[in-house]
Structure 1
Amino acid sequence: MEPPNGIFGGRTAPLFKTAQKPLESNPIPSSSPAFGTAIHPIRVSKPQEPPKPTILPILLPPATLRPLAFRTFTKKHNLTLTSSALQLIATFIGKHCGSGWREEGLAEKVLDEAAKQWKKSGGGVIVPGEGEELKNILRNIEGSMSGGKVLQNSGLSRQSSFAFGIGDGEAAPSEARPSALGREESFGMSALGVEDDEETTGTRDPRSWLKVVGAFDQPRLTYNVNQKHFEVMEATPSSLPDPSHKTHLFRHRYNLIHQRLLRNESFQTSSVATARTSALQRTSSTLATQQQAYKLTPIANLLGRTGSSHLLLGLLSISPTGMLTLNDLTGSITLDIQLARPVPEDGAWFTPGMIVLVDGVYEEEGTAAGPGLDGNRGVGGTVGGKFIAYSIGGPPCERRDVTLGVIGEGKDGSLKAGGGFGWVDFLGVGSERAAGSTMRKLEKSVLRGASETSAEGRGRMVILGEVELDNARTLQAIKKVLAVYATEPADQTPMVVVLMGNFVRYAVMAGGGSGGSIEYKEYFDSLALALSDYPTMLQRTTFVFVPGDNDPWPSAFSAGAATVLPRGSVPELFTSRIKRAFATANAEADKATGTKTDGEAIWSTNPTRLTMFGPAQEVIFFRDDISGRLRRNAIRFRPLEGETEMNADAQFTGKSIGDPIDVDQEQAPHESMDVDEASETAESQIPAPKAKASTISTGSIDLQIARKLVKTILDQGYLSPFPLSVRPVFWDHAGALQLYPLPTALVLMDPEAPPFAVTYEGCHVMNPGSLTPQGRRGVAQWMEFDARTRRGKTREARY
């Protein structure tokens, strides 16, 4: 019986191919209850075996075995035994080890072997005794014991020990032992014999360890504040849910950021009392932690504390009276930002719908009467008075390894999981605790082998942005990109090609210039014809299509406005010709070479996630005009003395607000963002004196815009930090927009932002830009991401 595939990531291990012993050539069937035959009449001569030592069973109380079991399972293997499991193991050891379980160390070897087999089978941190998993492990150990000892060379192989569901004395059928792991079976395993499977070509191809997870397919998790862990939501999602689900959407976002802050060093009180500064200060991407600890104040606790300084965490919003307010789970208060400064200066956008940290002073009603406050004094959870903000900053984000509890390297060089949420299976591909260390070993072995014969290797992703098929130049650009990779050896072609929408320039069936559904299907038919010219790519590569707001069917009702997130894939009605092109290419390869190929086209959602080697790598693809939406809705702060007020779009006209960033001046402006050479971590810095616009290169401005966009999104940990009136979201599927834990890489396809590739808090963020950039005829531009180095770069070619 398989354990439930829940948040613990527990799954039974797949079977492995091992050498089969030849059957004895004897026409007479053996004595077996299945056949009901008599005792074998022919005596087969075999070498005399020594008699097995006799073990006298004893009754071993679980309480007596508990200290030894705790040292072996908990201290050594980081597992937890339940009382039922301890009872089961104590009975087994008393029966098969006898009185020598303590003096001869027999019990310790059995416990150690049971813990190893449990981790190999992909079991969770807690070892239950009710199911069949532990019982099957003990049965396999029993078959390898002699005289109470576990024999090391007794044939306790992975195949025999993982044959769950096979009773005593039964042989595992040969057809149940595949030679290569399937993609669905491979994820979630905590131990894989990489060395033994070196010869299997299925597992040596990086694409075999790849899985695309759509927005509507990933597990729906909610954070339990009382238990401080994630739980699976059992309710069936709906597009018309109860109104309480809307409240839960913002409550869940707040709880995630709140628990993230409390685990930050800046919010952990030191044993040495220190004075707290009155304003937020940042010297890097996290709050300054030198000799100070911040303390959050609930908004409801401001009552009666006029004139005192506080640090608030809340949601920015606009009240019905038009006032800017800050809301948390206890109440809301009017926000006065006339004296406020963003932290860091021009380092991030702040819009209604974002959760921010605000440092300032509270003034009660008598001293803070103002427009919009007289008729709403303390009514409906609104705290009377106003909060005068001095500093506003985003909550510092948390690195992926910290969230998953990866605490360092073990003796074998593998990373080990500690605290955090390493036991949570966020995407249904296995948790960090169950599969992380083994999958990283496998990743290192496979990607290294895939790059031995080439500097680039097989582990590459080609990302094409804004593939507008109603543009005549787009098909030419696609052909040029595919031709670049089609000339490479067949075993070095990229494993993934991602095509991101919008696939048309105007909303389909909304009266635009892109026509209706018939024209839309013809665009994809033309794309299928272009793809058919490169059968090698179709046979060995996975093509992933991520739609945009102009694609059907949501665009038929939005008329070009923002559609609801997450949005579904392009309907099959328009994709049949492309699927047929892949089927034809695979069939021709099978007929010509006799080798089966499995190239495929996956029509996914927006956003969509791509995982490699289970929890080892996660790449998110998201198509949205997010930078323009941030500029339109951002809060504008009063400029400092001596500064002239600049609008939000001034950055795109050659002016800069922040400090200049060193960029290689020899590169062309469009090439300066291939890789962030200036700063690998995109740190937020205290602004230097303003430089003149004429002395700042275009590359420096583009890089600053990129870092500002990346910091805004990753600090929020959410792909759409806007009010629902600005960017609608399906309430029951808002978890698909969460960036927690941070992914390995994030692709923000935004045609209004410059192409870039920067790294912030360990997350590599890329924007491939439009495939056919405006103003540059005959140029194809795309992004290439290397899964081995986990870095992307912008590439160009002329057609």
Structure 2
Amino acid sequence: MPLDKGKSKLPTFFRPKFPWATPNPSSQQTSDPYEPLPQSTRPQTPRILAVEIPLNVLRPVAFRVFTKKHNLTLKSDALALLCSFVGRRCGAEWRDSGAGEKLLDEVARQWRRNEGANGVLVDGGEGLKSVIRGLEVGGDSVGLSREKSFDITEVPSSALYGGGAGMDDIAAAADAGELEDVEPCAYLKVIDAFSQPKFAYNPLKKQFEKAPKPSLLPPPQTKTQLFRTRYNLLHQRLLRTETFQLPTFSAASSSAAKAVNRLTPISNLLGRSGQSFLLFGMLGVSPSGLLILLDPSGEIVLDLSIATAIPEDGSWFTPGCFCILDGAFEETGKFTVFTVGQPCAERRATSVEVFGHVDFLGNGVTLDMSVSSGGQQGRILRKAEKSLEHVKYLFIGEVELDGKGTLRALRKVFSEYETEPPLVVVLMGNFCSVAMGSSGGSVGYKEYFDQLASLLQDFPTLTSSSTFIFVPGDNDPWASTFSGGASTTLPRKPIPEIFTTRIKRVFTQSRGPNSAIWASNPCRIGYFTQEIVMCRDDIFSRFQRNAINFKKSDHPMEDALSQPEATGDEGEEIDIKTKNTKVSYPHSPSPLDRFYGIIGILLAFTRYLVLQLVLADPRMQPSAITYESCHVMNPGKLVQRRMARWVEYSPSIGKGKVCEAGF
């Protein structure tokens, strides 16, 4: 039934659940022209008197928001347009109430979302005018809070996850109170390590910038730039912490001067022997075998004879790690270390203040949408994410298809979720207990996946409702063909299609909305505002082999290893002695062992190794812990003493739990 033309027009964001239930005007309504009109039930907002803001008055505020915070440059015509917009929307109290700065921040964020990394120069053209027109539709003043921000949900569906849904669908469901009906698979995207957009960190601007597509054979300076970028990122993060910030009051008093912690470059130690310093840099090994610390200004030999690790029972220190050293500079040119600590972690909400406008995954969701300051669009995404309480992820590690009891364990796990299928099932390698190159070729390896396909055919509900993601390990092709199962470079390519045809046929026959995804190692999952990193690596045993020993002969974390491993591949043990701080090798070391004896990395793709949230290491017991708001899970090994073990993750609460079942 059409609405009565006499009623006031509903706002565009209002979507009644039952339009036909809208009450009609009363039939008893009189035609007396002097009778007062009925008051609207919608809360009335106070009118704001527009003012004219001079350019020189708004310029410092706009510079602080656009240039300092969002790394944008304003032209004169754009500033004039913003002066008119802020004066019209915020009135005379635009500065005292902070509404003007919040409005400019909304404009900058929306410009970033529309123009991307290439829109550094903001002019008064059609691009800025369209942003302002979009914010004008909001109707409410922004002088209250970020939660009552503008309605910026009119984003094309193609900008989000590449699915068939968009922000307008979530907004409609949010208005109708039916967020449970949102299809979660439409907002799920798996990002391959070789297709994720690349951002380069600019230390001068202290911002990330769009970089060209990387190459497998980068120029030689990429290796140097890798460690320099890591140093700059960690250094600027340390300077943002309260420990290394200068006091706002005068430091003339001795108590204030002693309380300040300062990081000293290595080049500034010359001629200052006998004094104590705080150094920050990367541990390394010199060509003569001595343990050294490096930063962009130089290097220095370390003496760890009296050093103590902080914390003593919870950290690994190996060559290639960045750490903070507290010690004294000696006349001999060495640095005597008292304590060794790792750079403190930074919460995501703090990083958002600096890099909130960057879309690292390329799925249309910026970093700031995951926190409360992410505006209306982020608020709707987070609300939809938390409302889907039934969504589950399964992470299963070390699925050795040729192992004893592996298929029975998988059948047990799949049976637990046949009635309530999870959204995602992640199977992580190794998928073969022996490297493919040494196990008789590719025919036997393909038969293992054919057996898995036969098992999946018995669970049609699971294959039609869940997305299966396969992450390769060291023994999987094609890397194992050349390495024989030893550690190879990261990231690694997905398992070739020649071995996956039977499994793909199972998902094609189920005719479900999802399918099997053969991902790289590592890879990432984008789900609403969450970012999940998955990596399969024997990182703990590698740390154990290369760890620097301090006062104790046994490293305190060795007890956590279920299967300790004291030697490296082919018996090459790397032991960094404490007494004389010299690195000794049983055999003649190769050039790689001298500096990076830990793992090979494709230098142009190191940006994917920054965060590991799901780290599958079969030599560690399954676990799920939270550190500084970052949830880290390790599914461990699937089969352990006739028990099947896996990790179940609930994205609505951001927590995972270790599950087990006998078979």
TM-score, scaled relative to structure 1: 0.62
Matched, 1:732 2:599: no
CA contact (8 A) 2:325 2:338 kept: yes
The equivalences for 1:636-655 within 5 A come to 636-639=549-552, 645-646=553-554, 651=559
CA offset digits 1:301-334 (Å, max 9, x no partner) = 1111111111111111111111111111111111
User: How many angstroms does 1:129 deviate by?
Assistant: 3.4
Summarize the Cα distance change of 1:439–1:528 in structure 2 as closer, same or farther, 3 Å threshold: farther
**Structure-1 separation of matches of 2:81 and 2:634:** 55
Match of 2:403 in 1: 471
**Structure-1 separation of matches of 2:336 and 2:269:** 12
Matched, 1:787 2:651: yes
Three-state SS of the structure 1 residue aligned to 2:209 is strand
Match of 2:352 in 1: 404
Three-state SS of the structure 2 residue aligned to 1:486 is coil
Residue of 319, 325, 330 corresponding to 1:358: 325
For 2:637, the aligned partner's letter is: S
User: How many angstroms does 1:185 deviate by?
Assistant: 6.7
For 1:128, the aligned partner's letter is: V
Three-state SS of the structure 2 residue aligned to 1:556 is helix
**Structure-1 separation of matches of 2:299 and 2:500:** 49
Summarize the Cα distance change of 1:350–1:732 in structure 2 as closer, same or farther, 3 Å threshold: same
Match of 1:620 in 2: 533
Identity in percent = 41
**Structure-2 separation of matches of 1:393 and 1:111:** 39
Match of 1:421 in 2: 355
CA contact (8 A) 2:53 2:84 kept: no
Flag structure 1 segments of 5+ consecutive residues without an equivalent: 1-14, 20-59, 146-156, 164-176, 278-288, 369-384, 406-419, 452-456, 587-596, 640-644, 655-720
CA offset digits 1:507-546 (Å, max 9, x no partner) = 111x2xx432111111111111111211111111111111
For 2:366, the aligned partner's letter is: S
**Structure-2 separation of matches of 1:136 and 1:263:** 35
User: How many angstroms does 1:206 deviate by?
Assistant: 2.3
For 1:767, the aligned partner's letter is: N
User: How many angstroms does 1:64 deviate by?
Assistant: 4.5
**Structure-2 separation of matches of 1:327 and 1:110:** 46
User: How many angstroms does 1:730 deviate by?
Assistant: 0.6
Match of 1:450 in 2: 388
Matched, 1:296 2:263: yes
Match of 1:241 in 2: 218
User: How many angstroms does 1:219 deviate by?
Assistant: 2.2
CA offset digits 1:129-184 (Å, max 9, x no partner) = 36543344677899999xxxxxxxxxxx989x959xxxxxxxxxxxxx98x99632
User: How many angstroms does 1:260 deviate by?
Assistant: 0.9
Summarize the Cα distance change of 1:274–1:530 in structure 2 as closer, same or farther, 3 Å threshold: farther
Residue of 418, 426, 434 corresponding to 1:498: 426
The equivalences for 1:180-579 within 5 A come to 183-184=161-162, 193-195=171-173, 198=176, 204-234=182-212, 236-270=213-247, 271=249, 273=251, 292-364=259-331, 368=332, 385-405=333-353, 420-429=354-363, 430-433=365-368, 436-438=374-376, 440-451=378-389, 457=390, 459-488=391-420, 493-509=421-437, 511=438, 514-579=439-504
Summarize the Cα distance change of 1:648–1:633 in structure 2 as closer, same or farther, 3 Å threshold: farther
Flag structure 2 segments of 5+ consecutive residues without an equivalent: 1-11, 17-49, 140-149, 563-592
The equivalences for 1:715-730 within 5 A come to 723-730=595-602
**Structure-2 separation of matches of 1:561 and 1:185:** 38
**Structure-1 separation of matches of 2:260 and 2:454:** 62
**Structure-2 separation of matches of 1:223 and 1:793:** 35
CA offset digits 1:709-753 (Å, max 9, x no partner) = xxxxxxxxxxxx9954430101110111113xxx7xx11111111
Matched, 1:609 2:524: yes
Q: Quote the RMSD (CA, aligned, Å).
A: 4.5
User: How many angstroms does 1:111 deviate by?
Assistant: 13
Summarize the Cα distance change of 1:755–1:144 in structure 2 as closer, same or farther, 3 Å threshold: closer
**Structure-2 separation of matches of 1:63 and 1:790:** 45
For 2:245, the aligned partner's letter is: Q
**Structure-1 separation of matches of 2:557 and 2:55:** 70
Matched, 1:798 2:662: yes
CA contact (8 A) 1:123 1:434 kept: no
User: How many angstroms does 1:61 deviate by?
Assistant: 13
Three-state SS of the structure 1 residue aligned to 2:475 is coil
Summarize the Cα distance change of 1:200–1:723 in structure 2 as closer, same or farther, 3 Å threshold: farther
CA contact (8 A) 1:114 1:138 kept: no
CA contact (8 A) 2:151 2:376 kept: no
**Structure-2 separation of matches of 1:348 and 1:188:** 43
CA contact (8 A) 1:336 1:389 kept: yes
Summarize the Cα distance change of 1:70–1:631 in structure 2 as closer, same or farther, 3 Å threshold: closer
Match of 2:565 in 1: none
CA offset digits 1:238-296 (Å, max 9, x no partner) = 1121111110111111111111111111111223649999xxxxxxxxxxx99823111
CA contact (8 A) 1:606 1:622 kept: yes
For 2:507, the aligned partner's letter is: F
Match of 1:52 in 2: none
Summarize the Cα distance change of 1:244–1:62 in structure 2 as closer, same or farther, 3 Å threshold: farther
CA contact (8 A) 1:205 1:446 kept: no
User: How many angstroms does 1:574 deviate by?
Assistant: 1.2
**Structure-2 separation of matches of 1:624 and 1:142:** 51
Match of 1:767 in 2: 634
Match of 2:615 in 1: 748
For 1:791, the aligned partner's letter is: K
Match of 2:33 in 1: none
Size of the aligned set, in residue pairs, is: 563
For 1:605, the aligned partner's letter is: S
CA contact (8 A) 2:284 2:320 kept: yes
Three-state SS of the structure 2 residue aligned to 1:183 is coil
For 1:219, the aligned partner's letter is: P
Summarize the Cα distance change of 1:200–1:606 in structure 2 as closer, same or farther, 3 Å threshold: same
Match of 1:382 in 2: none
CA contact (8 A) 1:183 1:211 kept: yes
User: How many angstroms does 1:215 deviate by?
Assistant: 1.4
For 2:520, the aligned partner's letter is: T
The equivalences for 1:700-711 within 5 A come to none
Three-state SS of the structure 2 residue aligned to 1:758 is strand
For 2:656, the aligned partner's letter is: G
User: How many angstroms does 1:402 deviate by?
Assistant: 1.0
CA offset digits 1:676-731 (Å, max 9, x no partner) = xxxxxxxxxxxxxxxxxxxxxxxxxxxxxxxxxxxxxxxxxxxxx99544301011
Three-state SS of the structure 2 residue aligned to 1:621 is strand
Match of 1:133 in 2: 127
Summarize the Cα distance change of 1:294–1:577 in structure 2 as closer, same or farther, 3 Å threshold: same
Summarize the Cα distance change of 1:254–1:114 in structure 2 as closer, same or farther, 3 Å threshold: closer
**Structure-1 separation of matches of 2:481 and 2:631:** 34
CA contact (8 A) 1:275 1:292 kept: no
CA contact (8 A) 1:631 1:648 kept: no
TM-score, scaled relative to structure 2: 0.74
CA offset digits 1:518-577 (Å, max 9, x no partner) = 111111111111112111111111111111111111111111111101111111111122
